[in-house]
Amino acid sequence: MPPHPSPTASPHPGHSGDPVGGAHGAKKQFLRDAREYVRDTDHRAFLRRALAGYYTTRDGQKARYRDWEHARDAANLAKWNAVNRLDEMLVRFADTFEAGGGKVHWARDAAEARSIILGIVRDAGAKAIIKSKCMTSEEIHLNAALEAEGYGVVESDLGEFIQQLRGEPPFHFVFPCMHVRRGEISKLFEEHLGSAPTESPEELTMIARRYMRRLYVEADVGITGGNFLVAETGQISITENEGNARLTAALPRVHVALVGIEKCVERLDDLAVLLPMLATAGTGQPITCYNTLYGGPRATGECDGPREMHVVLLDNGRAAILADPEQRDSLQCIRCGACLNVCPIFKNVGGFTYGTTYQGPIGSVITPHLRGLGDWNHLSQASSLCGACTDACPVRIDIHHHLLHNRRNAVRAAPNRIERMGHRMFAAVAARPQLFAAGGALFRRSLWLLKKLRLPLLRDWIASRDLPGAPARSFRDQWRHRAAPAVARSRPSTGGGAR
């Protein structure tokens, strides 16, 4: 294979997904990046434009369902069933898949998964590796491990390819380069592939297409992810739009799929529910362009396809989520990306700020479990708790309540004494009307002073919010001296509740 256009050596600091300095560093990085992104109004407008079409296309597709809300219940049922019987599902999947001639590997953590895949690549005597989009491989930093051993690996998904050339992780786990403008892509291709500059998304896509064709033909090993593991039939299901995963699993001699253990469903028929819903929720399509099931390597009598197929089942913290019954349902996630698309926080701080493999609301829920190191609960604080994510989720994961659960867990693990003292004091005052009135009067008069003093708790709060001025009179005082109830003014059912 010709020398692969090597990505810039080190990912952007703070974009690596593994901030140095552990969780404390992660929180600092979050706050710093969030501040930067939020100030970049161009960038925010660009993200909004990119996602603007999503709502209309999604709602158009949802309207084709005879009842979307009930269909969500069914999708939830399919995944609930598999997650709550995960041991059964995994054993059944593994046995059935191996009966079809493939091999199943089990990886407890990222290091084990990397060494399994390196072993397969070595045994295959691979010279060139082609990859299709696989978030689990981002999770275990597979590309870096392969490159460290001297293997060239090319991401074939257009968005992932662009991110690879940029030396950045994906910005959004479904739309990896949605933050990049076409001009930047043109420059990138000019620099790495020697193509002519162009502003046309079509031409840019064709440049990547032409570049990749030869690589599919020449690669010895193809690495993919997997969206579902079908226990009943021992198949993995891969969902994609571009056809790159189809090619990756068709042309190389060896096919390796790295899949999280939670991806199980029990029956093939479950996919008749999940495949359309995944697409509708995630991208607003009726169904994704290619939905492909692989039951093993080329079977006898078939004319092409890999000679070997390996499925690597990755735990890497998933069993820890399973062990928390309260948040177990977050394993039902089918990674459609809908919760990111509708999240006001995501749209303002962007994907890199999270510093995680899985961005957005679902990432904030599962990362503290998956990372296992330190405390990622600050992500759960970065939420308005509007619940848009929960409403968007096709499998009905209770996402925004889990953000609350994480906050509660964080407080339990490290109680904030000052805050607690404040709450106690407020409770004591609020229970005594006279004290409450006196306290209120004092507060109204000294609010300006509080603003000036910039006490630590208040300082963070008012850094990005205006603290309103205090009214001259308390509510109770105003109520007592209100004008006589104006019956005539409160005519029923007019005015649309603008008051």
Chain positions 357 to 396 lying near ligand SF4, rule: CB under 6 A, are: 362, 392-395
DSSP bridge partners of 103: 310
Shortest Å, Cβ 458 to another protein? 25
Residue from 94, 126, 221, 339 that binds ligand SF4 (CB under 6 A)? 339
In angstroms, give the least distance from the CB of 280 to another protein. 9
Q: Which of residues 178-207 bind another protein (CB under 8 A)?
A: 178, 180-182, 185, 201-202, 204-206
Judged by beta carbon distances under 5 to 8 A according to partner kind, the member of another protein, ligand SF4, none in contact with residue 337 is ligand SF4
Tokens for 105, please give them: 């590997």
Give a three-class secondary structure readout of the chain: CCCCCCCCCCCCCCCCCCCCCHHHHHHHHHHHHHHHHHHCHHHHHHHHHHHHHHHHHHHHHHCCCCCHHHHHHHHHHHHHHHHCCHHHHHHHHHHHHHHCCCEEEEECCHHHHHHHHHHHHHHCCCCEEEECCCHHHHHCCHHHHHHHCCCEEEECCHHHHHHHHHCCCCCCCCCCCCCCCHHHHHHHHHHHHCCCCCCCHHHHHHHHHHHHHHHHHHCCEEEECCCEEECCCCEEEEEECCCHHHHHCCCCCEEEEEEEHHHEECCCCHHHHHHHHHHHHHHCCCCCCEEEEECCCCCCCCCCCCCEEEEEEECCCHHHHHCCHHHHHHHHCCCCCHHHHCCHHHHHHCCHHHCCCCCHHHHHHHHHHHHCCCCCCHHHHCCCCCCHHHHHCCCCCCHHHHHHHHHHHHHHHCCCHHHHHHHHHHHHHHCCHHHHHHHHHHHHHHHHHHHHHCCHHHHHHHHCCCCCCCCCCCHHHHHHCCCCCCHHHCCCCCHHHCC
Q: Which stretch binds ligand SF4 (CB under 6 A): 3-11, 132-140, 336-344, 451-459?
A: 336-344
**Least distance (Å) from another protein to the CB of residue 77?**
5
Of the candidate spans 107-115, 121-129, 344-352, 445-453, the one that interacts with another protein by CB under 8 A turns out to be: 107-115
Answer for which of 302, 415, 481, 499 binds another protein (CB under 8 A) is: 302
Site string for another protein, 225-264 (x = CB under 8 A): --------x-x-----xxxx-xx-xxx---------x---
Q: From the CB of 57, what's the least distance to another protein, in Å?
A: 10
Select the binding partner of residue 142 from ligand SF4, another protein, none (C-beta < 5 to 8 A, by kind). none
Closest approach, Cβ 251 to ligand SF4, in A, equals 30
Among residue numbers 454 through 493, which ones bind another protein (CB under 8 A)? none
Chosen residue from 16, 29, 143, 156 binding another protein by CB under 8 A = 156
Per-residue contact flags (x/-) with ligand SF4 for residues 263 to 292, judged by CB under 6 A: ------------------x-----------
For ligand SF4, the binding residue among 142, 273, 397, 403 (CB under 6 A) is 397
Closest distance to another protein from the beta carbon of 261 (Å): 7
Q: How many residues bind ligand SF4 (CB under 6 A)?
A: 15
The position carrying tokens 């692989």 is 294
Nearer to another protein, 320 or 470 (CB): 320
Closer Cβ to ligand SF4, 55 or 443, answer by number: 55
> Least distance in Å: CB of 67 to another protein?
4
Q: How far apart are CB 202 and another protein at their closest, in Å?
A: 5
CB of 496 to ligand SF4, least distance (A): 33
> Which is closer to ligand SF4, CB of 188 or CB of 397?
397
* Site for ligand SF4, rule CB under 6 A: 281, 333-339, 362, 392-395, 397, 399
